[in-house]
A and B are shown apart, each in its own frame.
Chain A
Amino acid sequence: MQTTSWLEIAVEVDPESVETVAEILARYGYNGGVVIEQGWIAGDEGPEFQYDPHRPVWLRTYLPLDAQVEETRQQIEHALWHVHQIRPLGPIQTRTLAEEDWANAWKQFYSVMRVGKRTIIVPSWLEYQPQPDDIVLLLDPGMAFGTGLHPTTRLCLNLLEQLVQPGQDVLDLGTGSGILAIAAAKLGAGRVLALDNDPIAVRVAQENIDRNRVGNTVTVAEGSLGVGQAMGHWLSGDFGPPEPDPALHEHGLQATFDLIAANLIARVLITLAPDLATALKPGGLLISSGIIDVKEEEVAAAFTAAGLQPIARHVEGEWVALVHRRI
């Protein structure tokens, strides 16, 4: 179908009328599609949220601007008028939208990104001529994971640049896109184990590892450390009972590392503190990130109790990254 632009039909409704009005919009809207924008309240940490039942909800649908558009708009108006007889309803708002290449337009939000002193993140649709010292990470923004835009990831990349020594054994716990594991490999690590307890992360990380040709150095696997094995998804908060599980050995790798990067969240770091300490060689270093400033003391206390000694502290905005050494 050839269209040059679209008519957006938007209406504000109370939460109880969402289904009713959505049904009407779906009857007329392009591809039966309806957008529902409902107010929400964020949790204190991580991805949890709750819908706010006291705020109105916006519903939107789209009509191709063609010869029938005015007739269809009137039909919607008519049907909503009937709903309005039994439920409160805001007035219909319309605006026209130009046709866009939506399949590719999101790419404009991304560019070649320099992180730290030498690390460059390059999306696959862009070209980049690397400088002699550059560590180039080829990463596309995907579904479940970003691309180093987040301060917690930037803090980790900076620290990896400073701390990775050639030939080291490195663990990337909660690897996500694999970005930190790939950076460690390109910075000269000998062997890198990338773990995540989300199977989608494991798949995405493996794709990125292959794209960056570091498959010889980096092994990616689904799993965690110690009590982390019983935790479910990192961010779910469903920690379960602490049952240590020596899953690391199943992957045929030594469970001791020269360097661990754990870009997680505060409460997960606290839960895993003893396991992180055990997984380090004596003198080994732990980079912990994803710590929101108000939780920093709690995390630091858990690490000290686990026999780790604070070495460095980096801050970006409200996010803190810590470096500890196993005594």
Chain B
Amino acid sequence: MAKKLVAVVKLQLPAGKATPAPPVGPALGQYGINIMAFVKEYNEKSASQAGSIVPVEISIYSDRSFVARLLTPPAADLLRKAAGIQKGASTPKRTTVGTITRAQLRQIAQQKLPDMNANDIEAAERIIAGTARSMGIKIVE
């Protein structure tokens, strides 16, 4: 059936732990899509990645049907794992909370490239390096 796209919403949620509460309810409720069907689908698909943040892209159509597609984990999540830290710095310009190597940066950029607004690996690396800087993670050679 020909379906007209009316909205695209991305949500970052803890894998396997989506509920109809915010942010899911307010983000999707306005479109009249079956929230419980989304929650069930997301939790089923992301259960294997428990403990990670797994973003999901929801395309909503004019007949109030929708498609949910899991995306790669956010760069911040990958950076935290690579640097071996729990959370980013609250004053990133002053504090360094961890370090990653150039090779680790490139690896994260490569993993994220399919879901990023970047045309090439260099641009992807730049964006992720910016995220690292704002989290207080230093990139070392």
Q: A residues engaging B (CB < 8 A)?
A: 6, 8, 15-17, 19-20, 22-24, 26-27, 29-38, 40, 42, 45-47, 49, 51, 53, 60-62, 75, 78-79, 82-83, 85-87, 97, 100, 102-103, 105-106, 108-110, 140-150, 152-153, 174, 176, 235, 263-266, 289-292, 319
Contacts and interface: CB of A to CB of B under 8 A. Distances in A.
B12 A32 contact: yes
A32 B65 contact: no
Contacts of A142: 34, 37, 65
A33 B20 contact: no
A20 B131 contact: yes
Q: Is the interface of B mostly helix, strand, loop or mixed?
A: mixed
Contacts of B22: 6, 8, 30-31, 33, 62, 97
A83 B18 CA distance: 28
B65 A141 contact: yes
Given A19-B128, A263-B1, A265-B2, A33 B35 contact: no
Contacts of B35: 102-103, 105-106
Chain B interface size range: 35 or more
Interface of B: 1-5, 8-14, 17, 19-29, 32-38, 41, 53, 55, 59, 61-68, 74-77, 87-88, 90-93, 117, 127-128, 130-131, 133-135
A224 to B, nearest CB: 14
Nearest to A78: B90
A289 B1 CA distance: 8
A103 B29 CA distance: 9
Q: Is the interface of A mostly helix, strand, loop or mixed?
A: mixed
A-B residue pairs, 9 tightest by C-beta: A102-B25, A146-B63, A109-B32, A23-B76, A62-B22, A36-B10, A290-B2, A150-B63, A33-B23
Nearest to A51: B117
Contacts of A85: 93
A42 B4 CA distance: 9
Given A6-B26, A47-B3, A102-B20, 20 more contacts: A19-B131, A20-B131, A22-B76, A26-B74, A31-B14, A32-B12, A37-B9, A38-B8, A38-B10, A40-B8, A42-B5, A82-B134, A87-B130, A102-B29, A103-B36, A106-B34, A141-B33, A141-B64, A142-B65, A146-B64
A61 B27 CA distance: 10
Contacts of A110: 32
